Amino acid sequence: MPLFRRKRAADSDPRPAIAEFWAWWAGARPELAAALAEGDPQRVAGALSQSVGRIHPDLDWALAPGLDGARHALVVSAGGRHDLRAVAQRWWLAAPPADAEFEYHPVRRRDPAAVEGVLDIDDYELPLVEFVAGTRYDEQRGRFDLAIHHPLFPLLGKESRARAAFLALEAALGEDDVERWVGAVDVTPDQPVDAVPLASLGPLVDVLRPRDDAWVTFTGATRKGPVVGVVRRPFSRVDRPLADTHVAVSLPYEPGDEGMPVAPDFAKHVDGWERRALDALGGDGDHAVLVGHETGLGRCLVHLYVDGLEVDPAAIDPLLPEWSMGPARRHATRDPAWREIGHLLA
């Protein structure tokens, strides 16, 4: 069944509307199951679209075959909108347990059987098995840059090609892994040199996928002096979908040569303060995460993200006076796309 989208509305706390959705679902589920069993999902599409739209009008939804043992899967996703990813996650966290009839997902997941499917684009049928990709893996960024091609692309307009390419990518990798692993995407009417079937991307990602996070140090340069960063890698906002608020803490210090700290064991001081701050926010988990910090030009800038509906960034304010090298300051900004730290994750 195709995805449905309604017009945009202002952001608000989605939790009451999510509770209303699941109350509605409990009563409507038998009719939904009957319509699917009879091969007539359109019979319930309008009611389901309205109920999802009450959570947020821009959420996407789809009914699909189950991937974890249920006959059917209900998918309610952000549809590529960073500001709605937490909404979809909250919807999923409130879902009833999966059973033999229905399972629930907050993103479109990788479907091993998708290669047998067909995309309907502008009255053309594009078999997914015919999509190919030219691939280039950038080790520094940990991303695949791709050139996507289908034999029918010459017959489609630019926007339709792009839509088809991203739908095919999501089928091959799932929404989260597209964001986590895919960098630049070129949609081309010409077959790339050394192209591989798009279905091969999933196994490639699985081979490269690290088992644990690591802390990576890097050095950058500004017009005023060098900056040394420590950042968690590999890491993406999709790993913590509820963490939508950036908390930046500036820890000043006495600079020495080229603006670097002169205090002995400075890194240990920062590490200890970060650990206490993370504990004050509830600890490392779905609702709070330490991403890293940047040191240079007389300050260490610590980057944390928290769930803006569940965690008050002011919880770390009592720790600010504990920093003895100068007046520490905190600033919080809603940032569901993690743009504030894009330079660290690029």
Pick the closest to residue 146 from 138, 136, 155, 156 (CA basis): 136
Q: For the chain, list residues with pLDDT below 70.
A: 1-11, 140, 210-213, 346
Question: What tokens does 274 get?
Answer: 């970060």
Q: What is the DSSP letter of 11?
A: -
Pick the closest to residue 247 from 179, 285, 180, 293 (CA basis): 293
The C-alpha angle 5, 179, 154, rounded to 5 degrees, equals 70
Cβ pair 5, 81 in contact under 8 A: no
| Number of helices and strands in the chain (H, E) | 8, 15
DSSP conformation letters of 238-295: GGSTT--EEEEEEEE--B-GGG-B-STTHHHHHHHHHHHHHHHTT-SSSSEEEEEEEE
How far apart CA 114 and CA 129 sit, in angstroms, is 8
pLDDT of residue 210: 63
Residue 16: enclosing H or E segment and its boundaries? helix 15-37
> What does each C-alpha distance from 242 to 133, 235, 292, 334 come to in angstroms?
32, 15, 18, 12
> What does each C-alpha distance from 164 to 113, 131, 144, 202 come to in angstroms?
17, 10, 18, 18
The C-alpha torsion from 337 through 277 and 219 to 206, rounded to 10°, is -50
Neighbouring CB atoms inside 10 A of 90's CB total 22
pLDDT of residue 211: 61
**Residue 175, C-beta contacts closer than 8 angstroms, at least 6 positions apart:** 77, 78, 80, 107, 108, 109, 238
Q: Can you give the pTM of this predicted structure?
A: 0.83
